Amino acid sequence: MTPGGDKSSRRPDIIWRDADGKTHWGNVGQSGVKGKPVPREIKAMQDLNKIRSQYGVSGRVQFRSYNHPEQNAKSGGTHH
């Protein structure tokens, strides 16, 4: 649930744990030519970032572009 968000319910596209056992969330979506998320993807990440601490996720939601994957490696795939 993402109360007070752009949508009332969201979920991350990807959930994983790193070698230190920390949980991370990721969002895969459409980006503009320079690899930045389009507005709807930004809204999704903003909604998820508001609730992530409730689920033990300390880091911000990471973004990966499906239509400009070449930008993922350049930017590290994150959007803050």
Q: What is the pLDDT of residues 27-78, one digit of tens each?
A: 999 999 888 999 999 999 999 999 999 999 999 999 999 998 887 866 555 5
Predicted structure pTM score: 0.81
Indicate the residue type of 37: P
pLDDT tens-digit readout, 20-29: 999 999 999 9
Domain boundaries, the chain: 14-75
Nearest to 74 by CA among 47, 44, 35: 35
- Rounded distance between C-alpha atoms, residue 8 and residue 17, angstroms: 26
Cβ(72)–Cβ(38) below 8 Å: no
